[in-house]
Structure 1
Amino acid sequence: MFENTESTKRQYALRDRAVALGWPIERVHVIDSDLGISGAQSEDRDGFQRLVSEVAMGHAGIVLGLEVSRLARNSADWHRLIELAALSHTLILDEDGIYDPAHFNDRLLLGLKGTMSEAELHILKSRLQGGILNKARRGELEMPLPIGLAYAADGRVVLDPDRQIQDTVRLLFDTFRDTGSACAVVRRLRGQKTLFPRRIRRGVGKGDVLWNTIDHSRALQILHNPRYAGAFAYGRTRTTCNARFKPVQVRVQQSDWQVLIPDAHEGYLSWAEYERNQAVLANNANGFSPGLRGRMPRSGSALLQGRLLCGRCGARMRVRYEPKDGQLRPYYMCNEAVVRQAGKHCQWVRGTAVDEAISALLLQTVAPAAIEVALAVQQEIAQRVEQAAALREAQLQRARYEAELARRRYLKGRLTGMCDCASSRSASATNRLSGSTDTLQREHERQREADRTLLDEPARRRIMALASDFPRVWNDARTSAVERKRMLGLLIEDVTLIVGQQIDVHVRWRGGRTQSLSVARPRPMPQVRKTLPQVVSLIDEWLETSTDRQIAARLNELGHRNWRGESFTMKKVILIRQTYALKSRFERLRERGMLTGEEVAQQLGVSTTTIHQLGRQGVLNPHLYGNNCRCLYEPLGNVKLVKGAGSQYGGRPSRLVPAQQTEQGAL
């Protein structure tokens, strides 16, 4: 547009043509707001939309253009303009003549010209795309390379000559190889304070490298890019329109890529590993699909999360957590029919017993290789720490170099008479880089101290001690649930569950070997809380001779506990007695003819206090039934109370004698 100006001059000359046809110069309007914009579509073409509006409202008498392609290269837009011009009796002029769209022949000729103009654009695009595709098939098409790759002087693709960029990119792929998750990669790199490079593609500072923290989308972009595997790929995306007719980029399946040349140049990983990574990422992305839900290990305590299949319908069972005893307990349930068909649960079971059975089975299988696993873990930790420390050191060296370079530029500017404004900006940049260097130095020292605790001698001894006992490694509180699930996933493909009178568990190991076992079904909560029959039998037996408090003490001495593992108390014994409708000790004593203190007092003609006092003195035989001092007394028969002389002053005590003997003594 800036160099080839002759066509633009010809278009502006159409204003003189309109004047020559009889239109006053003040009524001739030039629309040039679409200069440099393709006529392939009307979107974002304000000039064309203004032209259509003026024609539709009947404000235009004639539309002038060098050729149809100057107005529209899209048949839909062009025919809409012709139809509106026909309704408003607007003429159309090009280099070949003047046309009246209201006449059929003129409208037919204009339609053919519009179709030819659209076909011309298609031919031009095909010619350009054909050349690009032909060059891409040879692997010679130069395309923007991702960070970590660069073009050599001879046009070959090589690894970035910056060693720090290479090490950082390698660290990302090594971390994904260990974790198998893009989110885990981001968490580890952020936790290690590792910055990731990014190259500016356009605008100010084009080609410069910026270092910042990595995010999830950036990690996925790198993991999905085949250039890191040394492959040349073309046609990974295609342009389409969304619901608002805006052009958007859509990813294309690998089988539909136009060009794919493996091992075209040097890369950071092999093509086989790249394909494995794509399979892992696709598996992770299917977290909410009907058949592959939740395969990625998460932080919940459910050991079989994502690997449990329903033995009835074949769907993957989901996990639900409920609080119990201050912890979240897992429940495995198949609610595929609930979610997809508004039906009922297929089956469900508490997961603790199943997880324990699978853990025991896994320990029996993995125990021989425990030492090798622990040594591999130690070696992995050491390599990870050394690699992260080397990257942080490289970042620190780069920051020092940039700060020193800024300081030298500032001093050079002062010596050469730099203006005050530029000098102040240079000094500000120098101070900012110096402060950033100090911050990086402090952060590097702090992280180095933290890493040192991972590799010190006590840590090594702990790892070696755990190596000799794999069950202790598995059950150690420091082993996270995610790590247990990841270890399980290395050995077990999936587990099929059938809940009946007992739980049938069918394990499919990696490699195809299967194994089945049965697990006792957890008892319902009412049965769990139910008191043991032998405890109820003992309480029923001891009520003949003991009170509720005494029975609780005897149960505790024998080691009996309730369903929560708590010791028995008087209130708990009373609750059991009432629940199982056991006769109380009071009722049992009354059935044996025992009397209350009031009844004995009436029989002897004394007060109730005297009766209780006689019971404490041993004159009467009391039987405790309450939990304090409540008691019943044996029947007295035909006896009378004889009071001793001065008994209230510590003299001879009172006693019971037969009534006949008392009358003879009186005679």
Structure 2
Amino acid sequence: MSSESFSHKVTADHLRRDAYLYVRQSSLRQVLENTESTQRQYALRDRAVALGWPLERVHTIDNDLGLSGAAAQNRDGFQHLVSQVAMGRAGIVLGLEVSRLARNNADWHRLLELAALSHTLVLDQDGIYDPAHFNDRLLLGLKGAMSEAELHILKARLQGGMRNKASRGELEIPLPVGLIYAPNGAVVLDPDAQVRGALQFLFDTYRQTGAASAVVRRFEREGVSFPRRLQRGLGKGDVLWGAIDHRRITEVLHNPRYAGAFVYGRRRTSYDTELRSHLLEVPREQWHTLIRDAHPGYITWDEFERNQDTLRRNSVSFGIAARGSQPREGVGLLQGRVVCGRCGARMRTRYQQAASGSLATYQCVEAAVRRAAKACQSFQGRGLDAAISALLMDKVAPAALEVAVQVHDEIAARIEQADALRRKQLEGARYDADLARRRYLKVDPDNRLVADALEADWNDRLRQITALQQSHDVQREADAKTLDAQARERIADIALNFPRVWNDPRTASVERKRMLALLIEDVTVVADRTHITAGIRWRGGQTSSIRLARNLPIGMVRKTTPEVVAAIDQLLESCSDAQVAKRLNEMGYGNWRQEPFTYLKVRRLRRAYKLSSHYERLRARGFLAAEEIAKKLGVCVATVHHWGHRGVLHREVLSGSGHCLYLPPDQSTLVRPAIGRPRKSAAQNHSST
């Protein structure tokens, strides 16, 4: 349709402002291949000139080439266009079609609202529209809705085809390093022996250690590099070598392609409130396609499942799912393997410092954490750890020599595998150096700019070879010392003296836990106030149980036995503290340390158990002091002592002080001994008093 039929909508006010041409292609591939669409968009400048705008006032916005129109985020050109319309600087906005401007109704209607407020025209290949007019606004709204629906239909068609092809396992998706597509489209192992060796080294190490961090340390210790393939940009598909980290190892272990399985739908894209994309992991039961044994792999599917189970146990969490976690630091031998016999939850390990060193306490806090209830049980682990160690010695001793041979063979295999990887790494470095040498020899010597750069690259490659060769020689010497005759003798000696090695304080707690994990699955414990009952489940299904006395608190350990307290209470009826101590020693009793009793020890026990002393017991039975008897009978104190010495008064001598207590008699018993005695003079009586 000609521009003249719509030229009546263009007014002088519109021509006073500038014209803005918005050019966009959805992807870089369309920019490179669909050049005709780009040319048609640029040709709209002629339409603006025909409508009356000078060419120098027709602004082209093309910095959004290669960007999708599904959202306005990250489209700087569209944001600039909207700002110019909002400020009233645009008289007309030109676009080949609505889908070029936006495929999102929110962005499209925002542009239309601003254009209507600022009286800005919109032009596409079909005509000119004034968003301030209802009919034009309605038509533009319909075009925007159709553009958004078209995008949905296009996505549905593409994703439907991809899903259908993925369900058959024929969809070509990027492969992880170590796997490539053959010319016939089949997935095969990478023909590069160095790449295959590095991946096999990773899986073998994890199979032996069961921890991703241990794999990182092994790669670092052996000086082995790990490959990664560039997925985009310049050099796409090239393999780069470098150090490996924990994240990279977990990515490899979680990837089922290494187990020979075709997987589609492991991750899905989600958008936040700012329309930023995020990749989310999808549970296995929600994967779109999972085809086992679809192509060759580095491990079997059973081993992949075991690796996933180990990785789940390694993660720090609560509950039964974390039972049997991998060994960590700490003296608790059964860390991660103690199960509460009351609720079935995994018991946690808590450490505390004491005078004798670090102490491990096993406690079940599942109810306290989940339901704010009371903890099931807790107990110190020293006694149980010692009992399990003794039981383990009985199981391991018959197979000690066989284990020693396996250890030696395993060490030799590890060293040979690491040495083979280092040789392949050195071969790769030599190939790169030889390639750099050939490039340098092919260049024109007079072209110094290129020749100098190639010569410097060749020298760098040679220096890398020298450094690798030196490090490999040092490592080879260390490996030779590891496998010499003395090393074999030491391994055999370790096997024959396994109990001594197990109990050696220099043996790391982590290593003890790893050895224990090879034989014991878990230990179910029920603890009462005095005893601990443990049921051991061994690898292979065998079970056994042990019962041991519980470690009492220090207050209970230092507590005097009820038998001794009863004996002290009985002896205090007729003995003082010193006499009680003597009698207890004669009877063979001792304190909590089995030390002999003394006067002070008896007195402390008497006061601790609130026992009445011998003096207090006599007073309770009515015994009085000499002064009290004398005052009561109206005689002098000396007379009372004389009566006690003669046996007229019953007395009790208090040990240590020499004081006496007297049992007051009746008056009749006092008169009879006094008759017949010569009457003393007053002077004698006064002197005696």
Looking at structure 2, the residues matched to 164 and 98 of structure 1 have their Cα atoms a distance apart, in angstroms, of: 64
Looking at structure 2, the residues matched to 349 and 402 of structure 1 have their Cα atoms a distance apart, in angstroms, of: 62
Which of residues 470, 476, 494 is equivalent to 2:522?
Answer: 494
Cα contact 1:292–1:306 (8 A) shared by 2: no
For residues 115-134 of structure 1, the C-alpha deviation after alignment (integer angstroms, 9 at most, x for no partner) is: 21112122222333333334
Number of the residue aligned with 2:491: 463
For residues 390-416 of structure 1, the C-alpha deviation after alignment (integer angstroms, 9 at most, x for no partner) is: 222332333344445545554565xx5
Number of the residue aligned with 1:44: 74
Matched, 1:239 2:264: no
In the TM superposition, residue 169 of structure 1 has moved relative to its aligned partner by: 1.3
In the TM superposition, residue 212 of structure 1 has moved relative to its aligned partner by: 1.9
Number of the residue aligned with 1:504: 533
Number of the residue aligned with 2:649: none
Which of residues 270, 283, 286 is equivalent to 1:256?
Answer: 286
In the TM superposition, residue 261 of structure 1 has moved relative to its aligned partner by: 2.5
In the TM superposition, residue 341 of structure 1 has moved relative to its aligned partner by: 5.3
Number of the residue aligned with 1:435: 463
How many matched pairs? 562
Q: 1:57 to 1:519 in 2, by over 3 A?
A: farther
Which of residues 546, 555, 567 is equivalent to 1:526?
Answer: 555
Looking at structure 2, the residues matched to 60 and 417 of structure 1 have their Cα atoms a distance apart, in angstroms, of: 59
SS in 1 for 2:158: helix
Superposition map of 1:511-660 within 5 A: 514-528=543-557
Number of the residue aligned with 1:388: 418
Q: 1:419 to 1:32 in 2, by over 3 A?
A: closer
Q: 1:108 to 1:339 in 2, by over 3 A?
A: same
Cα contact 1:148–1:159 (8 A) shared by 2: yes
SS in 2 for 1:377: helix
Q: 1:2 to 1:375 in 2, by over 3 A?
A: closer
Number of the residue aligned with 1:625: none
Which of residues 344, 354, 358 is equivalent to 1:324?
Answer: 354
Number of the residue aligned with 1:174: 204
Number of the residue aligned with 2:181: 151
Cα contact 1:493–1:509 (8 A) shared by 2: yes
Number of the residue aligned with 1:348: 378
Number of the residue aligned with 2:337: 307
For residues 250-275 of structure 1, the C-alpha deviation after alignment (integer angstroms, 9 at most, x for no partner) is: 22223333333222222212222222
Matched, 1:197 2:227: yes
Which of residues 243, 247, 255 is equivalent to 1:217?
Answer: 247
Number of the residue aligned with 1:140: 170
Q: 1:394 to 1:62 in 2, by over 3 A?
A: closer
SS in 1 for 2:339: strand
In the TM superposition, residue 476 of structure 1 has moved relative to its aligned partner by: 4.4
Looking at structure 1, the residues matched to 237 and 405 of structure 2 have their Cα atoms a distance apart, in angstroms, of: 44
Number of the residue aligned with 1:7: 37
Q: 1:573 to 1:265 in 2, by over 3 A?
A: farther
Deviates more, 1:25-34 or 1:35-44: 25-34
In the TM superposition, residue 343 of structure 1 has moved relative to its aligned partner by: 5.8
Number of the residue aligned with 1:375: 405
Number of the residue aligned with 1:75: 105
In the TM superposition, residue 143 of structure 1 has moved relative to its aligned partner by: 3.0
Partner amino acid, structure 2, of 1:238: R
SS in 1 for 2:321: coil
Cα contact 1:332–1:349 (8 A) shared by 2: yes
Looking at structure 2, the residues matched to 116 and 401 of structure 1 have their Cα atoms a distance apart, in angstroms, of: 58
User: Which runs of 5 or more residues in structure 1 are unaligned?
Assistant: 545-550, 552-559, 583-631, 633-667
Matched, 1:126 2:156: yes
Looking at structure 1, the residues matched to 68 and 52 of structure 2 have their Cα atoms a distance apart, in angstroms, of: 31
Looking at structure 1, the residues matched to 591 and 581 of structure 2 have their Cα atoms a distance apart, in angstroms, of: 19
Q: 1:187 to 1:104 in 2, by over 3 A?
A: same
User: Which runs of 5 or more residues in structure 2 are unaligned?
Assistant: 1-30, 569-576, 608-655, 657-689
Number of the residue aligned with 1:266: 296
Partner amino acid, structure 1, of 2:462: S
Matched, 1:419 2:447: yes
Cα contact 2:432–2:461 (8 A) shared by 1: yes
Aligned-pair Cα RMSD in Å: 3.8
Cα contact 2:85–2:114 (8 A) shared by 1: yes
Looking at structure 1, the residues matched to 543 and 435 of structure 2 have their Cα atoms a distance apart, in angstroms, of: 65
Cα contact 2:367–2:374 (8 A) shared by 1: yes
In the TM superposition, residue 384 of structure 1 has moved relative to its aligned partner by: 0.8
Q: 1:61 to 1:468 in 2, by over 3 A?
A: same
Partner amino acid, structure 2, of 1:66: L
Q: 1:83 to 1:427 in 2, by over 3 A?
A: closer
Which of residues 91, 103, 125 is equivalent to 1:95?
Answer: 125
Partner amino acid, structure 1, of 2:470: R
For residues 435-470 of structure 1, the C-alpha deviation after alignment (integer angstroms, 9 at most, x for no partner) is: 322322222222222222332223323333443465
Number of the residue aligned with 1:288: 317
Looking at structure 2, the residues matched to 58 and 203 of structure 1 have their Cα atoms a distance apart, in angstroms, of: 40
SS in 2 for 1:292: helix
In the TM superposition, residue 103 of structure 1 has moved relative to its aligned partner by: 4.6
Q: 1:461 to 1:542 in 2, by over 3 A?
A: farther
For residues 122-174 of structure 1, the C-alpha deviation after alignment (integer angstroms, 9 at most, x for no partner) is: 22223333333344344333333322223333333222222222222111111
Q: 1:360 to 1:159 in 2, by over 3 A?
A: same
In the TM superposition, residue 318 of structure 1 has moved relative to its aligned partner by: 1.6
Looking at structure 2, the residues matched to 420 and 25 of structure 1 have their Cα atoms a distance apart, in angstroms, of: 48
Partner amino acid, structure 2, of 1:303: L
Number of the residue aligned with 2:617: none
Looking at structure 2, the residues matched to 128 and 432 of structure 1 have their Cα atoms a distance apart, in angstroms, of: 48
Cα contact 1:370–1:468 (8 A) shared by 2: yes
In the TM superposition, residue 99 of structure 1 has moved relative to its aligned partner by: 3.6
TM-score after normalising by structure 1: 0.74
Cα contact 1:15–1:28 (8 A) shared by 2: yes
Cα contact 1:55–1:84 (8 A) shared by 2: yes
Superposition map of 1:49-60 within 5 A: 49-60=79-90
Looking at structure 1, the residues matched to 93 and 451 of structure 2 have their Cα atoms a distance apart, in angstroms, of: 59
Looking at structure 1, the residues matched to 345 and 605 of structure 2 have their Cα atoms a distance apart, in angstroms, of: 44
SS in 1 for 2:61: coil
Cα contact 2:578–2:599 (8 A) shared by 1: no
Looking at structure 2, the residues matched to 284 and 397 of structure 1 have their Cα atoms a distance apart, in angstroms, of: 37
Q: 1:574 to 1:373 in 2, by over 3 A?
A: farther
Matched, 1:450 2:478: yes
